[in-house]
Amino acid sequence: MTVQIAPSILAADFARLTDEAAAVAAVADWLHVDVMDGHFVPNLTIGLPVVEALLKHADLPLDCHLMIEDPDRWAPGYAEAGARNVTIHAEAARGPVRTLRAIRAAGARAGLGINPATPVEPYADLLPEIDMLLLMTVEPGYGGQPFLDLVLPKVRRARKLIAGHGTAIWLQVDGGVSEETIGRCAEAGADVFVAGSAVYSADDPAAAVRSLRSLAERASGR
């Protein structure tokens, strides 16, 4: 397992997105982009036009996390635009197999997101269709919420399911990931870490990314 860090621009200055992306470009693996529609979650952020603009100006690959209703309709468009990963939510997708295949067919990695109260086991049969499983460690919708330790047993169970499946599916955690919590996530088996406030509220976002990475590597025994 290789540790990967994905700073979330939800905690960045939306009027200076190019600069905020550049601040972590040399040290992060991904730029995590939270798309929220005000329906699937009670918050509204950005959509495809801003993602298209970021694709032109950001040096990191984009990890688009779609917290929207009807991802079956919208997700393939993000992959076609050039997002390197597109994650849809299990709770929102009506035809997840078709949509995950459409994301891959458009050249992106396909991610499946699961809320804190959603069990992972019912989705075990979908593992061949995905490149990354995202376990939310807060209720989706807002940055800056406290990490939910109750998700950690699910992280462990998901890691076992993935190991049993035998291919390299990444296991991402998102929400409340910080210097205080990242070790517990890595120890439980996560290998891709989204961090919004822990990176963009820091005086030095690049130093925050480096510190998160070394804590995760230490905890995952690398």
Binding positions for ligand DX5, rule: CB under 6 A: 8, 10-11, 32, 34, 65, 138, 140-141, 143-145, 174-177, 194-198
Question: Would you say 201 or 214 has its CB closer to ligand DX5?
Answer: 201
* Shortest distance, position 221 Cβ to Zn ion, whole Å: 26
Task: Tell whether residue 89 is a contact of Zn ion (CB under 5 A).
Answer: no
* Shortest distance, position 147 Cβ to Zn ion, whole Å: 14
C-alpha to C-alpha distance for 135 and 132, rounded to whole angstroms:
10
144 is in the binding site of which of Zn ion, ligand DX5, none (Cβ under 5 to 8 A by kind)? ligand DX5
Q: In what order do the strands lie in the sheet with 4-7?
A: 4-7, 192-195, 170-174, 132-136, 109-114, 85-89, 62-67, 31-36
Q: Which of 29, 34, 37, 63 binds Zn ion (CB under 5 A)?
A: 34
* Shortest distance, position 71 Cβ to ligand DX5, whole Å: 14
Question: Would you say 128 or 146 has its CB closer to Zn ion?
Answer: 146
As beta bridge partners, residue 172 has: 134, 192
Question: Would you say 65 or 213 has its CB closer to Zn ion?
Answer: 65
Question: Would you say 154 or 163 has its CB closer to Zn ion?
Answer: 154
Residue 110, sorted as left (phi over 0), alpha (psi -120 to 50) or beta, turns out to be: beta
What are the residue numbers of the active site?
Answer: 34, 174
Burial of 16 (0-12, 13-18, 19+ CB in 10 A): exposed
Q: What is the dihedral of CA 135, 137, 140, 145, to 10 degrees?
A: -160
Closest residue to bound ligand DX5 by CB:
196
Q: Which residue has the tokens 């690959």?
A: 61
SS3 202: coil
Question: Would you say 66 or 188 has its CB closer to Zn ion?
Answer: 66
**H or E segment at 206?**
helix 205-219
**Tokens, residue 153:** 């047993």
Task: Tell whether residue 174 is a contact of Zn ion (CB under 5 A).
Answer: yes
